[in-house]
């Protein structure tokens, strides 16, 4: 699924949702806090220190299932018992890395999605939720949505935020639609700090999908996602401030978030910010953002840009295009 999910300005409606985008990969930012303190009610140790080795293996592997490699390695070094219990997950990390090499054609191997899927599935069989999500993504892209959802469900049940996010998005994209389940899983992932889930949850709240429409809560999640670096959320937060939807109108905040989205490559934000600069007489800066918007596919920006270019000298026009060619987007979680 290549469509994007976003809200955009329109003469008919300020906020319009395109079809929800495909489930997310691992680029989104998540807060990982999986450590559980294990206490012992009775201990032969005079200091009553917790006996980590007494934690049942099945519980330990469930706790560690969403761990990345550094956290998994640290847990494996707690004691010999944990090291033994987590051996399968360490093997899964090797398979996960191998799968990513095949998926992206890195590490001296050619791109091969079939081999990538095999590696991910082997990692998933060893309990890694990271591998479950990556295998699910390949299934989803191949149109095998039932297989993808089954893997997302396993990862989500083990507390993996990306799995929860992808499961929620899947319920918004497969028939029959299940908006309530989507909101449930998107909320869990959002509370866990997954910025894409926060944005998708905000869309549901904004549009009343699977939950009663609540503009105040929608803005809250837009802002959380925006603060976490999610560009589409920055754009939507700007629109909310512009029109006073869910919060008080603030031109300053609207400009701030619009510029942040524009500086991170959002085409519509570049167009909007370019128009604002033009209205303030900042013609050179306006040309840069309007040209960037044009290159992003915003056709309306072309007409405005061409009109402004006629007002500039040849030297200023050349400088504007040079600045545009050297422009680089700021980092974001998209």
Other C-beta atoms closer than 10 Å to the C-beta of 33 total 9
Structure tokens at 51: 């006996």
Tell me which residue of 240, 101, 46, 78 sits closest to 118, measured CA to CA.
101
pTM: 0.82
Tell me which residue of 332, 309, 331 sits closest to 320, measured CA to CA.
309
Q: Distance of CA 106 to CAs 98, 110, 122, 185, 256, Å?
A: 9, 7, 19, 33, 38
Please report where in the chains the tokens 């680029």 appear, as a residue.
27
Q: What is the pLDDT along the chain (334 residues), one digit of tens a residue?
A: 343 443 333 333 344 333 345 566 554 444 433 333 333 333 334 445 555 567 777 788 888 999 989 999 998 998 888 898 899 999 999 999 999 999 999 999 999 999 999 999 999 999 999 999 999 999 999 999 999 999 999 999 999 999 999 999 999 999 999 999 999 999 999 999 999 999 999 999 999 999 999 999 999 999 999 999 999 999 999 999 999 999 999 999 999 999 999 999 999 999 999 999 999 999 999 999 999 999 999 999 999 999 999 999 999 999 999 999 999 999 988 7
Assign 3-state DSSP to the chain and report helix, strand, coil percentages, each to 5: 60, 0, 35
C-alpha span between 208 and 180 (Å, rounded): 10
What single-letter DSSP state applies at residue 52? G
Residues 6+ apart with CB under 8 A from 169: 20, 21, 22, 23, 24, 182, 186, 200
pLDDT of residue 44: 39
pLDDT of residue 268: 97
pLDDT of residue 67: 92
What single-letter DSSP state applies at residue 41? S
Q: Distance of CA 100 to CAs 32, 96, 120, 147, Å?
A: 21, 6, 8, 19
Residues 6+ apart with CB under 8 A from 50: 37, 38, 39, 40, 43
C-alpha span between 123 and 37 (Å, rounded): 27
Domains along the sequence of the chain with CATH = 87-158 (1.25.40.10), 187-264 (1.25.40.10), 266-327 (no CATH)
pLDDT of residue 144: 97
pLDDT of residue 59: 84
Long-range contacts of 325-330 (CB under 8 A, 24+ apart): 327/288, 327/292, 329/263, 329/264, 329/265, 330/263, 330/264
Which three-class secondary structure string do you get for 182-217? HHHHHHHHHHCCCHHHHHHHHHHHHHCCCCCCCHHH
């Amino acid at each position: 699924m290549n469509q994007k999910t976003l809200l955009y300005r329109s003469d008919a409606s300020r906020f319009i949702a395109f079809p929800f985008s495909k489930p997310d990969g691992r680029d989104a930012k998540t807060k990982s806090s999986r450590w559980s303190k294990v206490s012992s009610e009775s201990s032969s140790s005079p200091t009553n220190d917790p006996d980590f080795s007494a934690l049942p293996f099945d519980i330990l592997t469930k706790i560690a299932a969403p761990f990345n490699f550094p956290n998994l390695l640290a847990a494996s070094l707690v004691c010999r018992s944990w090291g033994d219990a987590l051996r399968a997950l360490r093997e899964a990390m090797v398979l996960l890395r191998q799968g990513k090499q095949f998926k992206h054609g890195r590490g001296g191997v050619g791109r091969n999605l079939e081999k990538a899927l095999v590696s991910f599935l082997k990692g998933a069989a060893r309990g890694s939720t990271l591998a479950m999500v990556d295998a699910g993504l390949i299934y989803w892209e191949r149109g095998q949505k039932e297989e993808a959802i089954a893997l997302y469900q396993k990862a989500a049940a083990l507390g993996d935020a990306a799995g929860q996010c992808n499961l929620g998005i899947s319920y918004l994209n497969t028939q029959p639609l299940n908006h309530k389940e989507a909101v449930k899983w998107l909320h869990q992932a959002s509370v866990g700090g997954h910025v894409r889930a926060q944005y998708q949850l905000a869309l549901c709240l904004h549009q009343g999908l699977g939950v009663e429409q609540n503009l105040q809560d929608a803005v809250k999640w837009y802002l959380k996602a925006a603060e976490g670096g999610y560009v589409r959320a920055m754009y939507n937060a700007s629109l909310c401030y512009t029109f006073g939807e869910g919060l008080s109108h603030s031109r300053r905040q609207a400009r701030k978030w619009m510029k942040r989205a524009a500086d991170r490559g959002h085409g519509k934000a570049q167009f909007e910010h370019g128009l604002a600069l033009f209205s303030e007489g900042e013609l050179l800066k306006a040309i840069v953002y309007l040209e960037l918007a044009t290159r992003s596919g915003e056709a309306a920006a072309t007409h405005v840009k061409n009109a402004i270019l006629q007002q500039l000298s040849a030297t200023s026009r050349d400088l504007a295009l040079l600045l545009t060619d050297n422009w680089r987007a700021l980092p974001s979680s998209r």
